[in-house]
Amino acid sequence: MQKKYILALDQGTTSSRAVIFNRRSEILGIKSVPLRQIYPEPGWVEHDPEEIWKGQLEALRGVIEDTGISPEEIACIGITNQRETVIVWDKNTGRPVYNGIVWQCRRTAAKCDEIKARGLDTMIRDKTGLVVDAYFSATKIQWILDNVEGVRERALAGELLAGTVDTWLVWNLTGGQLHVTDYTNASRTMLFNINTLEWDRELLETFGIPESMLPKVIPSSGIVGETVEEILGVRIPISGIAGDQQSALFGQGCFEKECAKNTYGTGCFILMNVGKIPVKSNNNLLTTIAWGIGEEIEYALEGSVFNAGSSIQWLRDELKIIETARQADIDAEKVDDTGGVYVVPAYTGLGAPYWDPYARGIIIGITRGTRREHIIRATLESIAFQSRDVFEAMKADAGTEVKVLQVDGGVSVSPFCMQFQADILGIPVNRPAVTETTALGAAHLAGLAVGIWKDKLDIRKEFAEGKTFMPAMDEKTREDKYARWKRAVERSRNWVAE
Q: What is the pLDDT of residues 439-465, one digit of tens each?
A: 999 999 999 999 999 888 888 887 777
Supply the Cα-derived Rg of the chain in whole angstroms. 22
* 40 vs 38: CA distance, rounded Å: 6
Grade residue 135 by pLDDT with cuts at 50, 70 and 90.
confident
14 assigned binding-site residue? yes
135 assigned binding-site residue? yes
pLDDT at 498: 60
264 assigned binding-site residue? no
83 assigned binding-site residue? yes
Residue 296 within any structural domain of the chain? no
Residue 50 within any structural domain of the chain? yes
pLDDT at 262: 94
pLDDT at 325: 87
Kindly tell me if the per-residue pLDDT of 1 is higher than 60.
no
Task: Work out the percent of the chain whose per-residue pLDDT is above 90.
Answer: 75
84 assigned binding-site residue? yes
Grade residue 358 by pLDDT with cuts at 50, 70 and 90.
confident
pLDDT at 366: 96
15 assigned binding-site residue? yes
Residue 114 within any structural domain of the chain? yes
pTM: 0.88
pLDDT at 478: 96
Average pLDDT taken over every residue of the chain: 92
* 495 vs 354: CA distance, rounded Å: 13
* 472 vs 416: CA distance, rounded Å: 12
Range of the domain at 140: 5-245
159 assigned binding-site residue? no
In the sheet that holds 160-164, the strands lie side by side as 46-47, 100-101, 86-90, 160-164
Question: What's the average model confidence in pLDDT over 317-343?
Answer: 93
482 assigned binding-site residue? no
Q: What is the pLDDT of residues 251-309, one digit of tens each?
A: 998 998 888 999 998 889 999 999 999 998 999 899 999 999 988 899 999 998 888 88
287 assigned binding-site residue? no
CA–CA distances in Å: residue 52 to residues 112, 227, 303, 350, 394: 27, 17, 27, 29, 34
Q: What is the pLDDT of residues 402-428, one digit of tens each?
A: 888 999 888 898 999 999 999 999 999
Domain containing residue 217: CATH number: 3.30.420.40
Kindly tell me if the per-residue pLDDT of 329 is higher than 60.
yes
Kindly tell me if the per-residue pLDDT of 357 is higher than 80.
no
Number of domains the chain contains: 1
